[in-house]
Structure 1
Amino acid sequence: MVDTDRFRPSVTVAAVIEQGGRYLLVEEETPEGLRLNNPAGHVERGESPVEAVVREALEETARHFVPQAFLGVYLARFQRPAAAAPEDVTYVRLAFSGTVGEAIAGRALDAGIHRTLWLSAAELAACPGRHRSPLVLQCVHDHAAGRRLPLDAVFSHASLRAPGGQGRESRP
C-alpha cells in the first residue's frame, strides 16, 4: 500500500559565489514575476549534489562553478494558492560555496533565466520582496559569516548510478 500522505520534500542545490564582496545571483521568471535567486535547481536522478550544483550553476550563469565548501542544509516551505491546484512544497536545499570563471561566450542561460547580476549582501538584503525564497539571503548571510564545511560532509553512494544498487562509493 502506498502512503500518499508521506512527506516528500523536494531536494535542491544552490551555488553561493562571492567575488570582491558581491554575490552572483540570477534573475529568473516565476509565476510571481521576476525574482532573485542563487544559481540553484533540482538534483536529478543518478546525480550527486555536487554534480547537480556544478550543472545548475553552468546552466543558469554560463560559468563553470568549482565547489570549495559545503554551507549547509536549509529547509523552507513554499505555498502558492491556485484555483486549479494549490502548491505546497517543502524544499531541502544543499548549499555550496565556490568560485566561477568568466562567462562562456555564446552560451545561453537556462530557460526562464533573464540575466545574472552581482549584488552585495546589503543590496540583496534591501530587496527581500524580490527573493525567490527566504533561503537566498540566508545562504548569503551564512557565507558572509564564514560558514564553511568540508565538501565530503555530503556523501553520495555509488548506488545512485549503478543498476541494482551495486557500485563504488564516491566523495566529491
Structure 2
Amino acid sequence: MMHEKNLLGQRIRMLRRQQGLTLRALADGAGCSESMLSKLENGKGNPSINVLHAVSRALGTNMGSLFLPAPMPGVVMRRGDRHLAQLGPGNGQGVILEYLSPHLPGHVLQAHIHIIEPGGGTETITHEGEEAGYVLEGELALTVDGEAYHLHEGDSFFFDSSLPHSTRNPGQTTARVLWVNTPPTF
C-alpha cells in the first residue's frame, strides 16, 4: 500500500530528525545500509519485520509508532476508525494489523487483530516481551521455538516473545486473531 509506505517513511524521517540523527547514524544503529534507510524514508523500500524492529529500537521506540502519524485520541476507537497496517513481502505476506490500542512511546501494552489471508503468515522473529492471543475466526498455525501448534476458533495461546515464533493461516478462509503483547513491538 503506497500510502502506508509513505506514512512509514515520513514517521521514520521525523523521528530521526527529532533526535538529531543523520541517515548514516540511524543506519549504523539499526544495522542496515544507509541506502536502504533512504529508500524506506522515501516510501520506496519494503523492509522486513526484523529491519523495522531494528530501526524502531535504534530510534528508541516501537514499530507501531512508525505507522501512526499522531496519537490516537480518546478512550474508544469505533469499528472502521481504527488504523490498519498491511505487512509487505518478507514481513508477513497476506497479513493486516488492525490497531486496537495506540502504539506510542511510554505505552506498555499493545493489541491488534491480526487478519491473515489463507496461506498468509509472518516470518520467524524474536524480540523481548510476552504475547497472548485468541483465535476469533479461522485457523492459525503457530510455531514457537520450533514446536508447531494448530489452533482453531476459540483457541488461545501465550508465549515468551524471546522464543523464535511465526504464524501461518493453513485454512481456506481469512483468520482473525486478537493478539496482545507487552512491551509494544509492532
Relative to its length, the structure with more strand (as a share) is 1
- Normalised TM-score (structure 2): 0.24
